[in-house]
């Protein structure tokens, strides 16, 4: 029969191993989240820059659509 102290020691080691694994997964998720936030921020900046650069073309398209809708 296995002594109780050995069983409790094994339980503690298993819990410690699982805890380290969960911490590793948590850190990995946080890093991925940070990278995704930077990528989204860059996409937003590039999108606003593209809209500002092409604002005159967007105005022409909107005027064209308005003329199509209201037949002026």
- Mean pLDDT per 10-residue interval, the chain, length 72 residues: 78 87 90 96 96 90 92 72
End-to-end alpha-carbon separation of the chain, Å? Answer: 95
DSSP 22: H
Q: Which two tokens stand for residue 3?
A: 């002594």
Q: Are 17 and 11 in contact (CB under 8 A)?
A: no
Q: What's the pLDDT score for residue 46?
A: 96
- The dihedral over CA atoms of 7, 11, 14, 19, expressed in degrees to the nearest 10, equals -170
Q: What's the pLDDT score for residue 40?
A: 98
Tell me the C-alpha distance between 24 and 46, whole Å.
Answer: 33
Give residue 54's domain range: 4-70
> Into how many domains does the chain fold?
1
């Amino acid at each position: 029969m296995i002594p109780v102290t050995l069983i409790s020691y094994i339980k503690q080691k298993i819990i410690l191993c699982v805890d380290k694994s969960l911490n590793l997964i948590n850190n990995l998720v946080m890093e991925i989240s940070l990278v995704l936030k930077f990528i989204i921020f860059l996409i937003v900046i590039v999108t606003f820059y593209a809209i500002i650069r092409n604002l005159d073309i967007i105005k022409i398209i909107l005027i064209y659509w308005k003329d199509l809708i209201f037949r002026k």
